Amino acid sequence: MSDVALRAAGLTKRYGRLVALDDLTVEVTAGEVFGFLGPNGAGKSTTIRLLLGLARPTAGRAWVFDVDAADVARAHRLLAYVPADVALWPQLTGAEILHLQACTGPGVDAAYRDELVERFALDPSKPAGTYSTGNRQKVALIAAFATRAPLLVLDEPTSGLDPLMEREFRTAVTAARDRGQTVFLSSHQLAEVEAVCDRVAILRAGRLIQVAPIGELRGLHRSEVTLTHTGTPPVLTAIAGVDDVQPDGQGRLRFTFTGPPAAVLKALARAEVTGLAVREPSLEEIFLDYYGTGNTR
């Protein structure tokens, strides 16, 4: 099996004059948790439909492992998919739906499925028609995490879940990665992506604008440093990447920097620094750098 779980090359989707997705080229490595981040309307769900062969691209191609996404029957034997809006058979109980999905999918770990039912606090004896949005989501997530499919595609998977269940979701994602499964997680929940993903892609108005490991993504943006010192403050203004130096005249100094820290550390070593705190930007702050605080397109 290929070491690339999902691949898109020049993937484009137009609806008349509207460009929902524009020339997407990306690869998701087998065994990683890959975050696909963007606000509502950025094109995330359109991308997933194209990757899974559920919509025909205007241009470009996509593959699930080595299988062309257009060959839906073959491609879907390799994956489990949780859509943003889960619809279930209303007359069937949760247990019956989980059994049906286990019979039609690529295999299931029944013992782990039963464990997940307990952890997600799902009552499987109730008809699905009585389930809340969150409980419908739980059924789909339990089915996906219990499957032996090598790829899990999750589209806004925690909508409707309370914070306790979100914690269980993150634990299940980590367990899937530990078993060697690939997880493609589309979300606008920044904390969720930051907590579980190895790499993240940021989509804006249908265009891919960044792909990087989360640690590297933070490194592309400014970290905030606060220090205390005695005597003369360190000289930082001539150092590349240092900005917004704010001494308070009372032994306290703040500044931001981006890039390698070596020059900054040398300057600090020459000063009488008594305390130092570095705050990296959160994924939310990075996200807002791309979109602007007032721009949700």
pLDDT in tens, 257-273: 887 788 888 888 888 88
pLDDT in tens, 91-112: 999 999 999 988 887 889 999 9
pLDDT at 295 over 80: no
pLDDT over 70, % of the chain: 98
Most confident of 38-47, 61-70, 208-217, 225-234: 61-70
| Tokens of residue 126, six digits | 């109730």
Q: Which of 6, 95, 3, 20 is nearest to 56 (CA)?
A: 20
pLDDT at 293 over 70: no
- CA atoms of 103 and 112, how far apart (whole Å): 16
10 Å CB burial of residue 70 (0-12, 13-18, 19+) is: middle
- CA atoms of 280 and 221, how far apart (whole Å): 8
3-state DSSP assignment of residue 192: helix
- CA atoms of 214 and 195, how far apart (whole Å): 10
Q: Could you tell me which residues come within 8 angstroms of residue 206 by beta carbon, excluding any fewer than 6 positions away?
A: 19, 20, 21, 22, 42, 43, 46
- CA atoms of 295 and 297, how far apart (whole Å): 6
| Tokens of residue 194, six digits | 């930051």
10 Å CB burial of residue 135 (0-12, 13-18, 19+) is: buried
3-state DSSP assignment of residue 232: coil
pLDDT in tens, 169-193: 999 999 999 999 999 999 887 888 8
Which DSSP state fits 147? B
- CA atoms of 1 and 204, how far apart (whole Å): 32
Q: What is the mean pLDDT of residues 277-293?
A: 77
